[in-house]
Amino acid sequence: MLSRRTLLLGGTTAGAVLVAGAAAGVEQGVLPGRPWLQSTLHLNGAAGTIPDVEPGQVEHGTFVSSARLGAETGWVLIHPPGHHEHVPLVVALHGLGEDSGSLTGPSFGLPQYLAAAVADGVPPFAIAAADGGASYWHLRPDGEDASAMVTDELLPLLRRGHGVRTDRIGLIGWSMGGYGALRLAGDLGKQRVAAVVAASPAIWSDAGSASKSGFVDAEEYDKYSVLGHQEDLDGIPVRIDVGTGDPFYRDVQDYVHAFPDDADVTSSFQPGAHDPAYWRRMLPAELAFLGSAVGSRA
């Protein structure tokens, strides 16, 4: 492992060689401490910039979720700009420590990104999100089930008078939500899901290393893991993006490579960390991917 002293030798010829070698190793994912090194060596690429455009209407509301054991659950619905009736819907699943409001705030700027996508010719669709807590979007031992909240509560709520179609949806998620989007898409299948995008999905090859927030033990992780269940996504266009400076990079790469050769999977492994700067940079391509699958010009 490189020491701090080695990194501080950048002003010398030997130091320049060492740093260049470290940079090459980091980009290939072969050095220990890769996420820290990639950040320190400024190899994570440019941060995505929220578009300077007028967003469409954003609706907000709350409901008491039975699936989340009585939790007051906030939700948002981001409309594309202009007057669009019965547009397709994409459900967005937030990451750990976030909520539905995080996606419309300054870290993500999802309403602006959607408006920019539509202005660039992406067929219009709406995006909905709801608070999923920290349960990793699956049934927990205490009975909380944020995925059931989405299918049994959020979608029926939006079906009534909000101008969106919920019969066949798209899914997108980040980190915890990226894992959740892949798992929920596999559960619902191609009849209900038109496309799924997972940005930096939280995937562990070692079940014992999985987050204790979402998995009480390795047995629970194995039960709800997406690893080894790529066939559940058969017939669903899948896009997976992860930064090379992300702690999940290698596990996600292994997950992607385990899809069948004929699977409809788009993936990217670009410089980037596990943070909103990278996620914003990837959003234009991800929204275009979703729009091509679920969007409508109605």
pLDDT, the chain, mean = 88
pLDDT value at residue 169: 98
Q: Nearest-CA neighbor of 159 among 130, 189, 188, 128?
A: 128
Residue 128 lies in a domain: yes
Residue 97 CA to residue 278 CA, distance in Å, equals 17
Residues 233-247, buried b or exposed e (16+ Cβ, 10 A)? Answer: beebbbbbbbbbbbb
Tokens read off for 117: 């996508």
Q: In the predicted model, is pLDDT for residue 132 greater than 90?
A: yes
Same domain as 12, residue 76: no
User: Based on the structure, what is the number of domains in the chain?
Assistant: 2
C-beta separation of 67 from 146 below 8 A: yes
- Say if residue 176 is in the same domain as residue 203: yes
**What CA dihedral angle connects 243, 245, 250 and 254, to 10 degrees?**
10
| Structure token pair of residue 234 | 């058969």
Percent of the chain scoring above 70 in pLDDT? 88
Same-domain check for residues 11 and 143: no
- Is the domain of 32 the same as that of 146? no
Mind listing the pLDDT tens digit for each residue in 218-229?
A: 999 999 999 999
Same domain for 108 and 224?
yes
pLDDT of residue 22: 35
Q: Which two tokens stand for residue 213?
A: 């927030």
pTM assigned to the model: 0.87
The answer to whether residues 9 and 104 belong to one domain is: no
Q: Rounded to whole angstroms, how far apart are CA atoms 215 and 228?
A: 18
CATH at 246 = 3.40.50.1820
> Residue 192: pLDDT above 80?
yes
Q: Are residues 138 and 8 in the same domain?
A: no
Alpha carbon distance 231, 290 (integer Å): 20
- Segment of 3-17, 23-37, 131-145, 283-297 carrying the highest mean pLDDT: 131-145
Is residue 49 assigned to a domain?
no
Band (38; pLDDT cuts 50, 70, 90): confident
218 in a domain, yes or no? yes
Q: Do residues 157 and 21 both lie within one domain?
A: no
> Is there a single domain that holds both residue 33 and residue 116?
no
pLDDT in tens, 49-97: 999 999 999 999 999 999 999 999 999 999 999 877 889 999 999 999 9
Mean pLDDT computed over 101-124 = 96
Residue 10 pLDDT greater than 70, yes or no: no
67 and 31, same structural domain? no
Per-residue b/e over 119-128, b at no fewer than 16 CB within 10 Å? eeebbbbbbb
Cα(24)–Cα(30) distance, integer angstroms:
9
Q: Is residue 48 part of a domain?
A: no
CA pair distance 264, 203, nearest whole angstrom: 20
- Is the pLDDT reported for residue 189 higher than 60? yes
24 in a structural domain: yes
Q: Look at residue 215 and tell me if it is in a domain.
A: yes
- Domain of residue 92 covers 58-294
Report residue 181's pLDDT band, with 50, 70 and 90 as the boundaries.
very high
Q: State whether 9 and 92 are in the same domain.
A: no
Decide if pLDDT at 123 tops 60. Answer: yes
User: Does residue 53 sit within a domain?
Assistant: no
The reply to whether 238 falls in a domain is yes
Helices of type H across the chain: 4-7, 13-28, 34-40, 100-104, 110-119, 146-149, 155-159, 176-188, 218-224, 249-257, 276-294
Do 25 and 135 sit in the same domain of this protein? no
